[in-house]
Homo-oligomer: A and B are copies of this chain.
Amino acid sequence: MHIAPRTTDLRPMPALCSSSGLSLAEGLGPLGPRAVVVRACKDEEVVSQDARAEYCFIVVSGCLRTVRLMEDGRRHVGEFLLSGDVFGWEALDRHDFAAEAVTPVVLHRYRRADLDRHTERDGEFARQMRALTCQRLRAVREQMLLLGRMTASERIAHFLLEMAGRLESDGGAWIELPMARADIADYLGLTVETVCRQLTHLRHDGTIAVQGMKVTIRDRRSLEAVDRAGVLH
Closest to A188 in B: B148
Instruction: Say yes or no for A229: interface residue by CB 8 A criterion.
Output: yes
Segment of A139-147, A159-167, A196-204 engaged in the interface with chain B: A139-147
The reply to whether B136 and A137 contact each other, CB–CB distance below 8 Å, is yes
A135 to B138, CA, bound (A): 14
Cβ-neighbour of A68 out of B70, B130, B145 (below 8 A): B145
In chain A between 76 and 105, which residues have their CB closer than 8 angstroms to a CB of chain B? 76, 78, 90-92, 96-97
Q: Which residues of B contact A149 (CB under 8 A)?
A: 70, 74-76, 189
Instruction: Say yes or no for A50: interface residue by CB 8 A criterion.
Output: yes
Min CB–CB distance A56 → chain B (angstroms): 12
Q: Which residues of B contact A230 (CB under 8 A)?
A: 70
Instruction: Say yes or no for A123: interface residue by CB 8 A criterion.
Output: yes
Instruction: Say yes or no for A134: interface residue by CB 8 A criterion.
Output: yes
Instruction: Say yes or no for A31: interface residue by CB 8 A criterion.
Output: no
Instruction: Say yes or no for A10: interface residue by CB 8 A criterion.
Output: no
Cβ-neighbour of A130 out of B130, B138, B229 (below 8 A): B130
Q: Which residues of B contact A143 (CB under 8 A)?
A: 144
In chain A between 140 and 182, which residues have their CB closer than 8 angstroms to a CB of chain B? 140-145, 147-149
Cβ-neighbour of A90 out of B49, B97, B119, B134 (below 8 A): B134
Q: Which residues of B contact A90 (CB under 8 A)?
A: 133-134, 137
Closest to A94 in B: B138
Min CB–CB distance A112 → chain B (angstroms): 12
Interface residues of A (CB under 8 A from B): 49-50, 68-72, 74-76, 78, 90-92, 96-97, 119-120, 123, 126, 130-131, 133-138, 140-145, 147-149, 186, 188-189, 228-233
